[in-house]
Amino acid sequence: MDNDHARPGDLAALRTAFAAGAPALGWDAVRAFEEEHAIVLPEPYRTCVAEICDGFPAGPPHYGLLPLAAMPLDWGHGRPERVLAEPFPLTEAWPWEDDEGGPDDEGVEEFEARLAPVFDHGSIVLGTDGCGMYWHLVVTGAHRGHLWLISGEGALPFDGGFAEWVGYWAAGRDWFDAW
């Protein structure tokens, strides 16, 4: 996966998949977002938002691809500020629902302090499949460019980047067949 250069074939597939998407942001708006958050978005998502579309109501995910700076309606209020420049903390699946050291084994505050960066550091939220299942694109850290499904039960990496994720959806495949 090349996070710094968009492959022409990936961009062509994204143009096809998002032919009727929201208007693209343009490069100036993308660069302003990156400067504001001290990040560089991974390719080909970066070029997609700048040149192809900024959001797509028909998916992926189930409830649509969010515009770059948006959050899902069910994200909740009073959550900590998201810090995109802080590294995303995971490199492998973490089913915290079954994890030793979870809220039953340590204090709730300590567990929530370990959990918060998974939701709030180093990723942008692409959208939701409902029921608290959010798709994140990692923008900083060891898994930069990878997609993760993060829910109340745990975090699972998708095997690939934005173009592969969109291709999976465009082929009509079920997400849960990906693991």
Return the CATH number at 29: 3.40.1580
Is residue 79 one of the residues assigned to a domain?
Answer: no
CA distances from 93 to 46, 106, 151 (A): 25, 20, 12
Using DSSP's 3-state secondary structure scheme, residue 127 falls into strand
Q: What pLDDT is stored for residue 105 in this prediction?
A: 57
In a domain, 165, yes or no: yes
Model confidence band, residue 96 (pLDDT cutoffs 50, 70, 90): confident
> By C-alpha distance, which of 169, 128, 162, 127 is closest to 143?
162
Bridge partners, 150 (sequence order): 134, 155
Q: What is the dihedral of CA 151, 24, 47, 168, to 10 degrees?
A: 50
**Does any domain span residue 74?**
no
Domain span at residue 148 reads 8-67+89-172
Cα–Cα distances in angstroms (integers) from residue 148 to residues 11, 18, 28, 32, 80, in the given order: 21, 21, 27, 25, 20
- 3 belongs to a structural domain: no
Instruction: Name the domain count of the chain.
Output: 1
Q: Residues 27-66: pLDDT tens digits?
A: 999 999 999 999 999 999 999 999 999 999 988 998 999 9
Does pLDDT of 5 surpass 80? yes
Whether residue 76 is contained in a domain is answered as no
Length of the chain: 179
114 part of a folded domain: yes
Stretch 103-112: mean pLDDT, rounded? 67
- pLDDT, position 106: 58
pLDDT range class, residue 108, cuts 50, 70, 90: confident
Query: Do the domain assignments include residue 142?
Result: yes
Specify the pLDDT at position 77: 77
Query: 60-84: per-residue pLDDT in tens?
Result: 998 999 999 899 888 877 777 889 9
Q: For the residues 71-100, what does the mean pLDDT come to?
A: 84
Would 23 be classed as within a structural domain?
Answer: yes
Please tell me the predicted confidence (pLDDT) of residue 59: 84
